[in-house]
Amino acid sequence: MARVVFDHVSKHFGAVRAVDDVSFDIEDGEFICLLGPSGCGKTTTLRLMAGLEQPTSGRIAVDDRDVTFAKPKERDVGMVFQDYALFPHMTIAENIAYPLKVRGAPAKDRAARTADVAQSLGIDHLLERRPGQISGGQQQRTSVARAVVHKPKVFLFDEPLSNLDAKLRVEARSFLKHLQVELGVTALYVTHDQAEAMALADRIAVMEGGRVVQMGPPLEVYRKPATTFVANFLGNPPMNLVPVKLRLDGGRARLQAAGLDVAVDPGRASRFRDGADLTLGVRPEHLRLVPDAGEATFTGSVYTVEPLGPETLITCTVDGQLVTARLFGDEPPELGDTAHFRIDEHHLELFDDAGVRVER
């Protein structure tokens, strides 16, 4: 149970700015996901929180106590490592009890608490085994058990599901979410999987090149991506991004590209000049199939059709540009067909030439 504050924290390794001026607050009991591609500084941020790295500049506080340079053992955190880092020479029971042992808890309390935690995680039948003798999913649970056994103030997870196979991953995901809600502990969770972040987080912090480029609730980040980078990173398939030119004509504004023409509220484009280069963004689920060219925003020829069960993904080429639509229920067009699509304006996002979202 703790509030965590990162205040202009940077961590440089020589010339590499692994973490670059990162600031955020985490509320008590909140589940935060750090989301970003490989090498964007997620793990380093987590290690700064754990005390395994010291920041080059900035300040980190837990419950108003400055822990910027505190040792790991002074921070009272529990961490699940990407490789689980279970001690190979100890049994599962000894692994789980280790945080209690170094805290000098009496052997009886240790055993009782270990049995308790192991039971709630469904690994109580494995206590006498060694890490090499249990499955990946069980190792993951053991690692979680070791992280929670001493009731830490903050949970840290570094891609804890990345070593599990797809089916187990979804299962473990719900389990982690449930556990965190049940324990009500503040959590900082690192992942490069946007679906995982969307499913787990109270708020997502999207990182790029050592910086947090956007932080907010999953749906807000999904609906209003702050930059084209975020738009492209969230969602599977991601948001369609099409370079367009702005045409201002009297009181009206239109976005145009080869094969595409859509009217927008002139208010949204008011700060740009005629002919400005913008990027139009639209989620695949917001492309509507329409019967004729008259209503259509654009027309393309069908390039691939991917039936996924409840939905079908249609990718079209529109003058060399690929655009993906997610269709539910409709009789999907077939390969090589000409398809007409409409974008409703309230579903359309605009990004300026620096890739930053234009507020409505």
Point out which residues bind ligand ADP (CB under 6 A). 13, 16, 18, 36, 38-44
Q: C-beta of 108: minimal distance to another protein in Å?
A: 19
Count of beta carbons in the 10 Å neighbourhood of residue 343: 22
Min dist. Cβ of residue 207 to ligand ADP (A): 7
Least Å distance, CB 42 to Mg ion, is 5
Q: Which does 218 bind (CB under 5 to 8 A by kind): Mg ion, ligand ADP, another protein, none?
A: none
Residue 159 class from Cβ within 10 Å (0-12 exposed, 13-18 middle, 19+ buried)? buried
The residue among 147 and 314 lying less far from Mg ion, judged by its C-beta, is 147
How many Cβ atoms sit within 10 Å of the Cβ of residue 148?
21
Near another protein by CB under 8 A: residue from 36, 41, 55, 131: 131
**Which one of 27, 87, 217, 295 is in contact with another protein (CB under 8 A)?**
87
Residue 291: DSSP 8-state: S
Among 22, 33, 77, 206, interactor with another protein by CB under 8 A? 77
Answer whether the bond into residue 237 is a cis peptide, omega within 30°. yes
Least distance to ligand ADP, CB of residue 183, Å? 25
Of 159 and 208, the one with the shorter C-beta distance to another protein is 159
Residue 65 site contact among Mg ion, ligand ADP, another protein, none (CB < 5 to 8 Å, cut-off depends on kind): none
Query: Cβ(76)–Cβ(49) under 8 Å?
Result: no
Which of another protein, Mg ion, ligand ADP, none binds 238 (CB below 5-8 Å, type-dependent)?
none
How many alpha carbons lie under 13 Å from residue 129 in its C-beta half-sphere?
14
For the bound state, the minimum distance from the C-beta of residue 21 to ligand ADP, rounded and expressed in Å, comes to 14
Per partner kind, with CB cut-offs from 5 to 8 A, the member of ligand ADP, Mg ion, another protein, none near residue 39 is ligand ADP
Residue among 13 and 69 whose Cβ is closer to ligand ADP: 13
The residues in 35-64 that bind Mg ion, with binding defined as CB under 5 A, are 43
Q: Which of 42, 113, 146, 286 binds another protein (CB under 8 A)?
A: 146
CB 154 within 8 A of CB 186: yes
Q: How far is the C-alpha of 72 from the C-alpha of 315, rounded, in Å?
A: 50
Closest residue to Mg ion using C-beta atoms: 43
Minimum distance of ligand ADP from residue 255's CB (angstroms): 35
238 contacts: CB under 8 Å, gap ≥ 6: 231, 232
Please spell the DSSP secondary structure of 171-186, one letter per residue.
HHHHHHHHHHHHHT-E
Dist. CA 76–CA 57, nearest whole Å: 22
Query: Of residues 16, 23, 66, 103, which one binds another protein by CB under 8 A?
Result: 103
For the chain, how many residues are written? 360
Contacts of 246 (CB under 8 A, 6+ apart): 253, 254, 255, 269, 272, 273, 274, 275, 276, 277, 278
Q: Tokens 């595409």 appear where? A: 260
Instruction: Tell me which residues touch another protein (CB under 8 A).
Output: 50-52, 71-73, 77-79, 81-89, 98-99, 102-103, 131-132, 139, 146, 150, 156
Instruction: Tell me which residues touch Mg ion (CB under 5 A).
Output: 43
